Amino acid sequence: MNDAFIHSEDDFLALINRYFPNEHKELSIARGDDCAVFACPPSLCVTTDLFVEDVHFRTSYFAPADIGHKALAVNVSDLAAMGAVPLGFSLALVAPRGVPVSFWEPFLQGMAHLAATHDLVLTGGDLSDGDKITVGITVWGAPGQRVLARGRTRIGDVLFVIGRVGMARVGLGVLEAGQDLDAFPACIRQHVHPEPLVEQGRLLAALPGVRGAMDISDGLEQDVPRLLAPGQGATMFMDPSVIHPEVTMYCARHHLNQARFCLRGGEDYALLGAVEPEYFEIVRERIPEAWKLGIVTANGFSLDGTGIRLQGFDHFSHEQP
Amino acid sequence: MNDAFIHSEDDFLALINRYFPNEHKELSIARGDDCAVFACPPSLCVTTDLFVEDVHFRTSYFAPADIGHKALAVNVSDLAAMGAVPLGFSLALVAPRGVPVSFWEPFLQGMAHLAATHDLVLTGGDLSDGDKITVGITVWGAPGQRVLARGRTRIGDVLFVIGRVGMARVGLGVLEAGQDLDAFPACIRQHVHPEPLVEQGRLLAALPGVRGAMDISDGLEQDVPRLLAPGQGATMFMDPSVIHPEVTMYCARHHLNQARFCLRGGEDYALLGAVEPEYFEIVRERIPEAWKLGIVTANGFSLDGTGIRLQGFDHFSHEQP
C-alpha cells in the first residue's frame, strides 16, 4: 500500500477517514454530503491560508508530516491571534497524481495530530489533480472573551511579543543552503513545525487592557505597522536576552545585525500584541513567553535607538521560499 | 493598468477591494485582519470546492469572467442542493505572476457579480504565487426550512431532476474539439457559466415529502447512487422531451445513445432530488424545471427499461478535462 499511488477519489477519501474522525458533537451532517452542517456560536471567526509546494515549502527538506502540520498550523495561528478557539476546518487539496500514498499517510497524520490537539473537526473539502501540492485550508472558531483585532492601538501602548522571532528565518536559511543542519535544530524545527499559540491567544483575550493582537507571519517589519492604528509609529528594542542562541550564532557567522535580522524574520507565528501600559505586567505574569518590544508612538519607527524605515515580505515581489 | 502585472499582494488586495464590498450588516470584522468575524445563525452549512487551471478549466476557451463566475458557482450550487441560503465565502487564490491585470479584472468582476446576486460577502482569503491558476473557495450559508441531505431515500420515492443534464458535457466536448462552436451556444454557455439553482433549492427545502437532494456535479451515473440510501437502486427513464435540442443534435452527429450520454454528463449543476410519491406533483407545480427521472427500488439500476451498471466520473482515474 505504502509505495502505491492514489487511484481514485474514493481511495483518497478512505485514507482521510482513517486519520480524521467523521463525527463530532456539534456536527449534524458530516463529510460526504454536499455541505457539512454544524451548530455554531452567535459569531464566528473565519480565516483561510494557502500552503503551496515550492512557494511555502519544499518536499526536499520538509517531512510529509510537517507539511500536513504546518498547512493547518498557519491557519490555526490566525485564530489564536484573534483570541478565538478553533472549532472546524475544510481542506482544499491539490494532490498531484504522482505523489505516492507513502507521502499522504504521514501528511494526513501530521495534520490530524494538530487537529486532535485542538479538537478541530475536518468537515469536508475537495480534491483535485494538479502539478504542485497545494493545500488551501479554511478554519473557523469561536471568539474568546474579546476579539483581538488590528488597528486599535493608542499612543503610549506597550507592544509585546509572545514567542520567539527570527528562528524560522534561520531555519529557512540553513535548509535552503543545505549546510550546518546539525548546528540549528531548534530553528529548523521552528520553520518546519511551528506550533500555533492557541492557549496564549485565549488567555490574552481575557486579560484587561489588551488592545489587540495578530500573528507574526511576515515578520515584525511588515506586521508591526499592520497592528497599529493608521499613521502611528513605534519605538522598538530587541532585547538580546529574548533572542535564541542559535539565531545569535547564525547572525554572528553571517555578519548580520541580529536585531534587524529578527525584525525581518517571518513565519515564527509568534503573537504580536498591544496593551495599555499599566496592564503590561499582568500580561507578562500570566503569559511567561511575553516580552516587551516597545511603545506605540505618534509616528515613525526606531529600533534600538536608530530610526528605521519598515518594509516587509511579500509573496509577489520577492523570490520564494 | 490593464496590460500590467500584479507586483505586490497590496496591489492585488486593492483590486479585490474594487470589486468586492468590504462591509456587510453581519460582518463585525471584515477583510484585512487575521480573521473575519461575523454573526451567524444557530447552525451553518459549509462547503469547499477547487477550480484548477487545466483540470477544471482552460484559459484557452474560458473567458476570465466565466472562470471567476464558475469557481464560485460550483460552491454555491452545493449550498443550493442542501436548500441553504448562501451568506459568505473565502477565497484561496493561486495567482501565477505571469497572469496580467487584464485577466484578473474580469475574473473578479465575474465572481463579484454572482456574489452580489446572492448577497454573498467575501470575508477574506489568501493569495500565493504558483504555476497554475487555482481557486479554492469555501462558502457557508444558513440552512433552509429543512436540510436536504443524501442517503435518506426510501423504496418507492420519486427521483426528480431540476434543470437540464448533458448540456455541459456537450459544451465541454465542443470546446475541447474546437469545432462547431456556433452550433452549440446554449451548451457552451452551460459549461462555462452554470447558474447555481439557489432559489429552487430553497423552495424544495420548504415543500412537503422531499426526502433529500444534491447537485449533479459528476453526472447522474455517479450521483444517483450517492443520493440513495445504501444498497438501493433506481428505475430511470430519460424522457426525450427534457433533453435540450443541442444535446439531441450532438448525440445524433456523433452516433451516441442520447439517454446514456445524458446520464454520464456532469457539471450541469442541476439538482437531483427524491420525494415521497404523493408529493411529486407539488414539486412539479412549484418548480416548473423539475422532471421525473424515475423511482427508487430495492436494488439494481435500469435506464429506459434496460439494466445498467452505474459508474461515474473521478478526477483521479480519468484524464481531464
Is B118 in the same domain as B58?
yes
Is B171 in the same domain as B300?
yes
> What gap in Å lies between CA A81 and CA A274, rounded to an integer?
12
Residue A270 lies in a domain: yes
Q: Which residue of B has its CA nearest to A144?
A: B37
Cell numbers of A59, please? 518536499
Is B108 in the same domain as B190?
no
CATH number of B121's domain: 3.30.1330.10
- Does ipTM come in above 0.90? yes
Q: Measured between beta carbons, which residues in chain B are less than 8 angstroms from residue A136?
A: 48, 50, 92, 126, 134, 136
Is B22 in the same domain as B130?
yes
> What gap in Å lies between CA B18 and CA B106, rounded to an integer?
12
Q: Measured between beta carbons, which residues in chain B are less than 8 angstroms from residue A320?
A: 129
CB contact under 8 A, A92 and B91: no
CB contact under 8 A, A36 and B46: yes
Residue B180 lies in a domain: yes
pLDDT in single tens digits along all 321 residues of chain B? 456 887 788 889 999 999 999 989 889 999 989 999 999 999 999 999 999 999 999 999 999 999 999 999 999 999 999 999 999 999 999 999 999 999 999 999 999 999 999 999 999 999 999 999 999 999 999 999 999 999 999 999 999 999 999 999 999 999 999 999 999 999 999 999 999 999 999 999 999 999 999 999 999 999 999 999 999 999 999 999 999 999 999 999 999 999 999 999 989 999 999 999 999 999 999 999 999 999 999 999 999 999 998 764 444 544 333
CB contact under 8 A, B45 and A55: no
Is B162 in the same domain as B299?
yes
Q: Which residue of B has its CA nearest to A53?
A: B130
Residue B320 lies in a domain: no
Is A180 in the same domain as A275?
yes
Is B174 in the same domain as B268?
yes
CB contact under 8 A, B12 and A316: yes
Query: pLDDT digit string (tens) for A46-88?
Result: 999 999 999 999 999 999 999 999 999 999 999 999 999 999 9
Residue after which a domain boundary falls, among A112, A142, A172: A142
Query: What is the count of structural domains for chain A?
Result: 2
Query: pLDDT digit string (tens) for A152-185?
Result: 999 999 999 999 999 999 999 999 999 999 999 9
Give the range of the structural domain holding residue A228, as residue numbers without chain letter. 158-308
- Please state, in angstroms and as integers, the Cα–Cα distance from residue B219 to each residue in B41, B70, B266, B280, B312, following that order: 32, 17, 4, 22, 7
Residue A149 lies in a domain: no
Cell numbers of A36, please? 457539512
Our CA-based measurement puts residue A183 at a distance from the nearest CA of chain B, in whole angstroms, of: 31
Is A163 in the same domain as A304?
yes
What's the half-sphere exposure (Cβ side, CA atoms, 13 Å) at B216? Answer: 29
Is A260 in the same domain as A122?
no
Is B164 in the same domain as B97?
no
Residue after which a domain boundary falls, among B90, B111, B142: B142
Closest CB to A9: pick one of B32, B48, B316: B316
Is B175 in the same domain as B130?
no
The reply, when asked if residue A223 is annotated as ligand binding, is: no
Residue B312's pLDDT is: 46
Q: Measured between beta carbons, which residues in chain A are less than 8 angstroms from residue B229?
A: none
Is A51 in the same domain as A84?
yes
Residue A16 lies in a domain: yes
Residue A150 lies in a domain: no
Residue B94 lies in a domain: yes
Q: Which residue of B has its CA nearest to A54?
A: B130
Residue B84 lies in a domain: yes
CATH number of A215's domain: 3.90.650.10
What's the half-sphere exposure (Cβ side, CA atoms, 13 Å) at B198? Answer: 23
Residue after which a domain boundary falls, among A115, A142, A169: A142
Our CA-based measurement puts residue A251 at a distance from the nearest CA of chain B, in whole angstroms, of: 28
